[in-house]
Each structure stands twice: as structure tokens, then as C-alpha cells.
Amino acid sequence: MPPNRPALTRSMTLLFATACGIVIANIYYSQPLLAVIAQTFGRSAASLGFLVTMTQLGYACGLLTIVPLGDALNRRTLIITLLLCGVLALFAVAASPTFLLFAIASVLLGVSTCSAQLLVPFAASLADEKERGRVVGMVMSGLLLGILLARTVSGLIAQFAGWRALYVIAALVGLLLTGLLARALPKDERDIPLAYGSLMKSLLTLIRENPSLRLRSLCGALAFACFSVLWTGLTFLLSQPPYNFSESKIGAFGLAGAAGTLAASYAGRMADRGHGNLATGLFSASILVSFAFIFAGAHSLVALVVGILLLDIGVQGLHISNQGVIYALAHDARSRVTTVYLTSYFIGGALGSSMASISYARYGWSGVCLAGAATASLLIAVWLISRFRQTSGEVSPLVCNEQVRERQLQ
């Protein structure tokens, strides 16, 4: 840990985790509400699936253009500024009179939500080297819980107060969180003479010189594509016969996946012990197997819940395994490493949302499951190829933490 850097206490770690969960939830509130929002603006539910895609692309844009600044600017100031922008975007979403304005506000909300991915490397930089995997796992558990529980919260609030009230409440919570973090985040005064152009060029250097980063980014993108295929398509399935569920019941399915956050801390410990490659294979297999149960979920709630649980365990565990590797690459470039990895990650999520909308419109639930299983199979293939290269004597890009050579890219 760098000198004069305050120790990361357990309470501060919990604050980072809570903040990440609250912030990231903003771009997932709409998923169980696609049908009711579509009715408000006179559109079909399937067409609203692309709203999730646009929001995630906005988030990816923020990751690409804003998060790298975390390696050069005061992260505390940058985080607070983005949180305030997010509050304004939430109010704009709630007040949107037309679908066009709603979509624009949603994209802007996605851009500002990238503050969550400034918090993660900030926590990683404060953590002791021997506990970094555990700390990242805990913080990411909060973020992943925010993604999953956002659906439950939005469904309940929208059921009783309407979807616009949900975004007003989210804006007020965001304002409260901004005030809390402004007081609690440690000072981050740094004098790092990196111009914005140099920061962006160094992203290409990171990608070119780190095969681990390239492969982990690909695995993350494929895994999150599977995740988005399910959670975007699930609303279409549950809002129609034979289920005909309300918004609150659809949102409650987020609770089924929330148990998968237990995989996050377990994956973090595996990364600390140097078993990241093994974890990659196990969690990838969980994703593939989950789609067999999800397919049966068209007529069985039990099978659907089991499939959701397996999928979330796989996606969340793999995500932490990936981060356990990439955060060992460069101490002074963690925000840029985050940018490369998570831009790929959420581009994958956006593509998954698009696949779900197109597949459901053409082939129904079977098409959604086939798209997810095909993507999961590609993920398994990437892992197997990497394992083959390792056993044949080549250096595998999917290596564990202690095998990664640290680089400092300025």
C-alpha cells in the first residue's frame, strides 16, 4: 500500500460495497418494468428491450471515456461529480414526457453510473496486497447485489406507486449517498502529469502488452452477455401466459439470483490463493448448465429459479476471478485496466440484451435460451483453448495472480 494511504477498515469496505450497489442499480431498475413502461409510451414490450441495450452502451461509453481519468485526477472529486450528474439524470428519467426524452435520459444515466467503477479500483488501491482479492470480492458483492436487487425494489415500488415514483426515490437516495461519500471518502490528492490523450493511448498499450487482460475481457463480455440474455428476456416470459406476473412478482426474481453473490467472496479467496484458472472453468460450466434449467423454466418455476441461481453464481464468480487477475497487472493503472475490462464487459451485456430482444421476437423463449447457451458454449471454448495452450507449454493468458508480472504504464 502506498505511503500516507489510510488503511481500509471493514466499515469503509462495507461503505464502498453499499455505494457500488446503490449506484449500479440505477441502470437496472427498468428491466422488470419494460412491459409497463412500454404501455406508457405506446410501444411493444419486446421493442423496449433495446432500451436496456442503450443504457448499457451509455455505461460502456462512460467506462471508456471517464473512468481512465481515475488514474490522473482526484478520484474523490470525480466520484462525487458523477454521482450528482446521476441524480439529475434520474430526475430527468422520472419527468420524461416522451419516449425519446426517456431514452436520452436513460443513456445519460448509464454514462454517469460509471462512478461505481471508480469506487472498485479506489477500494483495491486502499487494500493491503494480501487481502486485495477479499476486498474486491466484498465490494463486488455489493455491486452485484445492487444489480440483482434493483429488479426486486423497482418491481415493488412500481407496483404500488408507479415507475416514475421509483426514479424519484432513486434520485433522493442518490443525493443522500452523495452527501455521505463526500464526508467519508479518504482524500485522494495526487500529482500525476498524465494528459487525457496519453491516458487514452495507454489503454492500447495495456491491451497490447497484457494477454491476460485481453482474455479476461473476452471471458467477462461473454459471461455478461449470458446474464443479459436471461434478465432482459425474463420480463417477456413472466409478463405473458402462463405466468402473467405483475411488476412486483417479476422483480422478486432478483432475490433468486441474489444468493449467487455468495460466489463473489468465494471467488475472491480462490484468486488470493492462486486458483483463478480453475475458478474460471467451474464458473463457466455453471453458466452453461444453467440454460438447461432456464429452458425448462418456460413451464416450471422451480426449474427457472434453479437456472437463475446457477447463472448468477457462474457470472458473479467468474467476474471476481477476472478482477483478481487484472488488478494485479499495474498498481498505477487500475482505473485504466478497469476501463478496458468493463467496457468489454458491458458491450457484451448490451449485445446480450439485443440478442434477447431479437430472439424472443422471432423464436420466443426457446430462442432466448438457445442464444444464451450458444454464448456460454463459446465461453467454455475460450477457457478450454487457454487450458490446452497452458498444458502444451505455452504461457496461458488465463494465469493466476502470482504469475502476472506487474507493469506500470504511464
pLDDT, residue 46, reads: 64
Go through the domains of the chain in sequence order and give each one's CATH number. 10-402 (1.20.1250.20)
The residue with cell 491516458 is: 199
**Pick the residue with more confidence: 115 or 188?**
115
Do 19 and 219 form a contact (C-beta atoms < 8 A)? no
Segment 214-223 shows an average pLDDT of 94
Task: Provide the 10 A C-beta neighbour count for residue 366.
Answer: 12
How confident is the model at residue 275, as a pLDDT?
62
pLDDT score, position 6: 57
Average pLDDT (211-216) is 90
Q: Mean pLDDT across the chain, nearest whole number?
A: 83
Whole-structure pTM value: 0.75
Separation CA 296–CA 311 (nearest Å): 14
What φ, ψ does residue 377 adopt, rounded to 5°? -65, -40
The DSSP output letter for 405 is P
Mean pLDDT of all residues in 144-155: 84
pLDDT at 339 over 60: yes
Per-residue pLDDT tens for 350-393? 899 889 989 998 999 999 999 999 999 999 999 998 887 766 54
In tens, the pLDDT along 228-273 reads 999 888 988 988 888 888 877 887 787 776 666 665 556 556 655 6
3-state secondary structure 111-140: HHHHHHHHHHHHHHHHCCHHHHHHHHHHHH
Does 45 score more than 90 pLDDT? no
From residue 33, give the alpha-carbon distance in Å to each of 64, 103, 265, 266. Answer: 28, 14, 30, 32
Please calculate the CA angle 221-320-33 and round it to the nearest 5 degrees.
Answer: 60
pLDDT digits (tens, 9 = 90+) for 91-134: 999 999 998 899 999 999 999 999 998 998 888 788 777 777 67
Average pLDDT over residues 285-302: 95
Angle between helices 301-326 and 211-238 (to 10 degrees): 160
Distance in angstroms (rounded) separating the CA atoms of residues 46 and 235:
9
Three-state SS for 124-193 is HHHCCHHHHHHHHHHHHHHHHHHHHHHHHHHHHHHHHHCHHHHHHHHHHHHHHHHHHHHHHCCCCCCCCC
